Amino acid sequence: MTNGQAPPPNPLPRRVPGSSRLMPGRRPEVPRPRLLDGPAGVRAPGEQPARPELRPVPPQAAGTDVRSPEGQAAGPEVRPAGEQPAGAEARLPGGQQADAGVQPPPGPEPDKPRPEVPDGRAAADPVPPPDEPVTGPVVLRRDAEIERQAAEALAPRAAAEATPSWPQVVGTTARLWVARRRTWWRVLAALIVVLIVFAAGGLTVALLRGTRSGSPPGGHRAAPGTPGLAQVQAAAAARQQAVTWVTAQVSHSAVVSCDPAMCAGLEARGFPAGDLMTLDSGASDPLGSAVIVATAAVRSAFGSRLTSVYAPIVIASFGSGSARIDVRVYAPGGAAAYLAALRADQAVRQNLGRVLLRNTRIAAAPAARAQLAAGQVDTRLLAILATLTHQGTVSIAAFGDSGPGAGPGVPLRTVELASPPGAKSGYLPSVLTLLRAQQAPYLPASATLARLAGDLQIARIEFAAPSPLGLLSG
């Protein structure tokens, strides 16, 4: 105690800046205290660190602020042992004078020496045992020594591990590609497209092989039932001929039954659509028809009933084989009744023909005379010839147009007349005028003038098919 005043208490230790643990992953550095004992602050193993000597601060007058040159308040002065400050007196608590050394100031006892703390740790942090792994980033301090370990030799890899096989690489790549992009539906779509392309290619090859005519190179033939190019062309030609003949020869007031393709062709060529009856696969029978165009489809639909029940007589035929097209006359009362009526009508025509041959006004070529005698001329033509004999001589050049491939007993429906010797000028035109003035069934479908070889002029008269039966029997 000096001048009746107690010495200032020992100031509390200040927190070292950077000692807070608020920063995650980093431990603040805590400066180690300087040791005054021993050379360069090094102590022997097991030796306790020397406590620094604390000396009292000289009394200052009231209101006096003692600061360091940096402007901070000076703390307690620390001096080595045995050194006395000038003009200061060391005393013990209670006013007793110390024998020697430094007299500590009154107040709380100084802190006990703390255990040695490793660099980079706070004093409150426990020191981990040597075997405990240290986590967090490593912070290098200044003047720190780093021990460099010798690099160890790397163990060689196995050959299979170092270089995988190509199948493994491809498989792994494909799996990763599919897994990352989730494109399994694209792969499936690609497979479907490939299958469709292969199927279309196979179908094209099959069609090309089937449409080749004859035997293809290599000796291979098309499968049975597969139409070749020649058969397709023959069927198309037969259909075209049938369409042309029916349009020109069959009466446009008669009902014609045909398959859809044939009916379409007839309608395209000018045959009245109202007189066409389409026969499809579900048709029961061609009731009300006058003519049936029997194509392969119609024959397949009716089978044997076509000839035995509905249409026993062919008036024209085109093509052959499966491409054959027959133009048949429908039998309203059945096949048997029609055949009987046809025989009776032929007998009447035969008698009338022989009567005309005995007429002196009939001049006919040898072939025409034979046809009249055989009863092959249509009854409508016989009636016209008989009418013309009342005006003078009738010169018959030929009969014809029973239709290609017509069956037996089908009458001839066309006649060619020439001018008789000594006939007046304009004889043939006057004949055509007379015929065009007739009424059905004696009105011809066509009556025109034509010239034959040798500049011979004729009048061609033609009646439409089919020929009526029993017209002159009564």
In this predicted structure, which of 73-82, 287-296, 324-333, 380-389 has the lowest mean pLDDT?
A: 73-82
pLDDT digits (tens, 9 = 90+) for 345-375: 999 999 999 999 999 999 999 999 999 999 9
Please state, in angstroms and rounded to a whole number, the distance separating the CA atoms of residues 406 and 116. 135
Question: Does position 264 have pLDDT exceeding 70, yes or no?
Answer: yes
The pLDDT score that the predictor gives to residue 109 is 52
Cα–Cα distances (Å) from 272 to 267, 277, 295, 298, 462, in that order, read 6, 11, 20, 21, 20
With H, G, I as helix, E, B as strand and everything else as coil, classify residue 326.
strand
The pLDDT score that the predictor gives to residue 217 is 42
- Give the β-pairing of 256-258 and 276-278: parallel
Please state, in angstroms and rounded to a whole number, the distance separating the CA atoms of residues 261 and 88. 142
What is the pLDDT confidence band of residue 447, given thresholds at 50, 70 and 90?
A: very high
420/311 same-domain check: no
394/356 same-domain check: yes
316/340 same-domain check: no
449/365 same-domain check: yes
Considering only residues 384 and 84, tell me which one the structure prediction assigns the higher pLDDT.
Answer: 384
Is residue 67 domain-resident? no
Strand partners, 450: 458
Per-range mean pLDDT, top range of 59-68, 118-127, 242-251, 445-454: 242-251
CB 409 within 8 A of CB 346: yes
Please state, in angstroms and rounded to a whole number, the distance separating the CA atoms of residues 379 and 412. 9
The pLDDT score that the predictor gives to residue 64 is 47
Q: Rg of the chain over CA atoms, in angstroms?
A: 68
290/359 same-domain check: no
Q: Indicate the length of the chain as a whole number.
A: 474
The pLDDT score that the predictor gives to residue 216 is 43
Question: Does position 81 have pLDDT exceeding 50, yes or no?
Answer: no
Is residue 285 domain-resident? yes
Please state, in angstroms and rounded to a whole number, the distance separating the CA atoms of residues 174 and 168. 10
Range(s) of the domain holding residue 387: 336-462
Question: Does position 159 have pLDDT exceeding 80, yes or no?
Answer: no
Please state, in angstroms and rounded to a whole number, the distance separating the CA atoms of residues 376 and 399. 9
How large is the average pLDDT for residues 17-30? 51
388/433 same-domain check: yes
409/325 same-domain check: no
327/444 same-domain check: no
CB 353 within 8 A of CB 382: yes
Number of domains in the chain: 3
410/353 same-domain check: yes
Question: E strands of 55-96, at which residues?
Answer: 78-79
In this predicted structure, which of 12-26, 191-205, 269-283 has the lowest mean pLDDT?
A: 12-26
Question: Does position 455 have pLDDT exceeding 50, yes or no?
Answer: yes
Please state, in angstroms and rounded to a whole number, the distance separating the CA atoms of residues 400 and 406. 12
- Give the β-pairing of 456-462 and 446-452: antiparallel
